[in-house]
Amino acid sequence: MGLSANREVFITCAVTGSGDTAGRSDKVPVTPREIADAAIEAAKAGAAVAHIHVRDSDTGAPSRDLALYAEVVDYIKQAKVDVVLNLTAGMGGDLVIGSAQQPLPLNPVSTDMIGAVERLEHVTALLPEICTLDCGTMNFGEGDYIMTNTPSMLMAMARQIQSLGARPEIEVFDSGHLELAKWLKNQGLIDDPVVVQLCMGIAWGAPDDIATLNALVQNLPEGWIFSAFSIGRNQLPFTALAILSGGNIRVGLEDNLWLAKGELASNGDLVARAVTIATAMGYSIMGPEQVREKLKLQKRWG
C-alpha cells in the first residue's frame, strides 16, 4: 500500500448505532436530545459528518420511528452548529430465522422486513444531505440474524435516494458488496461522486487486516471517495490506516466504546483523538462546507 498524496481528510462520527451497547456504557446516547447533543459534541470536536441512528427512549432498543429522527434533526437545527447529517437507511432489513433445525417460520419478534419506500420514510420526510445504503446481505453475530439487502431492494432504494437528491453512502462490509455498488452505478442509479464506507472487522464480513483493506481500496473505481473504519479496539488505529490508504475517517460509539483500556469514551473524545492522530501525521481536517463541496451535496438547511 503506497502513501496517498491526499492530505485533507474528513471525519464521520457514528454517534449511537443500533447495537446492544447502551447497557455497556452510560455515554451511549439514547434519547433524541442525547443523540443530537452527541452529534453537536462530535461536530465541535472536528467531525464534519454525523451518522445518525435512533433508539427507543425508554429501552435503548434500535428504532426506525420517523418522529424520533425528526426530533434529532430539529434539535441539531436549533443548535445552529454546522454538521453534515447522514441518516441510516439500514433499518428494516433484519431477517431472523426461527432456529437451525426449524428455520421457518421466521422469528416474529426480531425479524423486521419492510419495503424500500418505508425504509426511506425518514429520508423522504427530512431530506438529509447523506443517507446510507447497505450494499449487500450477510450473516451477523453467532445466531440466526441475516442483514438482508437484495439486488432488487437495493435498486429500488438507490432509485428513490437519487430522486430525493441525497447522496448515498454505500456501506461495504465485504468484497461482493463493492461489486453490487459497481453494478448499481452501471445501472445509472448512483450519481458521481460515489461515496463508500468500508466497514471492516465485523463478523462475518471483511476482516480488518491491512491486506484486505488494500484489496478493497485497489478495487475501488477511479474517482470514488471512501472512508474506512474498524470496530472495538482497532477503531483508533484504523484512522491511520484509512488516511494512509487515501481514505477518510469514521469513529464513534456505534463501533467502539473505549478511548483506552478501562476508559470509556464519549463521541467527542473519539473525534478529538482522531483529529490528533491525523494532524500529527501531517493531515488537515476538512470542515462541513469543504465536505459539501467535495461530495457535491445539496445543503438542506442552515
H or E element in which residue 71 lies: helix 66-79
What gap in Å lies between CA 301 and CA 129, rounded to an integer? 10
* Percentage of the chain modeled with pLDDT above 90: 92
How far is the C-alpha of 14 from the C-alpha of 197, rounded, in Å?
12
Q: What is the pLDDT of residues 82-124, one digit of tens each?
A: 999 999 999 999 999 999 999 999 999 999 999 999 999 999 9
Q: What is the pLDDT of residue 161?
A: 98
User: Are the CB atoms for 227 and 255 separated by under 8 Å?
Assistant: no
Distance CA 190, CA 207 (A): 27
Give the residue-averaged pLDDT of 195-215. 96
Length of the chain: 302
For residues 39 and 52, the answer to whether their CB atoms sit within 8 Å is yes
Peptide bond into 168 cis (omega under 30): no
The whole-number pLDDT of residue 124 equals 97
| pLDDT confidence tier of residue 285, bands split at 50, 70 and 90 | very high
Q: How confident is the model at residue 298 (pLDDT cuts 50, 70, 90)?
A: confident
pTM reported for the whole predicted model: 0.95
Between CA 21 and CA 27, with CA 22 as vertex, the angle to 5 degrees is 105
pLDDT at 1: 47
Kindly report, residue by residue over 252-273, the tens digit of the pLDDT.
Answer: 999 999 999 999 999 999 999 9
Average pLDDT estimate for 64-78: 97
Q: Would you say residue 4 has pLDDT above 80?
A: no
C-alpha 244 chain-centroid distance: 20
Those residues with Cβ within 8 angstroms of residue 84's Cβ, 6 or more apart along the chain or in another chain: 48, 49, 50, 129, 130, 288, 291, 292, 297
**168 vs 19 pLDDT, higher one:** 168
Cis peptide before 105 (omega within 30 of 0): yes
* CA–CA distance, 198 with 190 (Å, rounded to integer): 17
Nearest partner of 63 among 31, 106, 102, 24, judged by Cα: 31
What average pLDDT is seen over the chain?
A: 95
Other CB atoms within 10 A of residue 186 CB: 9
Cβ burial, residue 244 (10 Å; 0-12/13-18/19+): middle
Question: Which long-range CB contacts under 8 A does 254-259 form with residues at least 24 apart?
Answer: 254/14, 254/15, 254/16, 254/17, 254/18, 254/19, 254/21, 254/51, 254/53, 255/14, 255/17, 255/229, 255/230, 255/231, 256/231, 256/232, 257/21, 257/24, 257/25, 257/27, 257/28, 258/232, 258/233
Q: Are strands 145-147 and 138-140 parallel, antiparallel or unpaired?
A: antiparallel
39-68 residues labelled b (16+ CB within 10 A) or e (exposed): bbbbbebbbbbbbbbbbebeebebbbbbeb
- Residues 72-86 have pLDDT tens digits of 999 999 999 999 999
Residues 219-242 have pLDDT tens digits of 999 999 999 999 999 999 999 999
Q: In degrees rounded to 5, what are phi and psi of residue 135?
A: -90, 55
* Whether domain 8-295 has CATH 3.40.718.10: no
Q: Is the pLDDT of residue 211 over 60?
A: yes
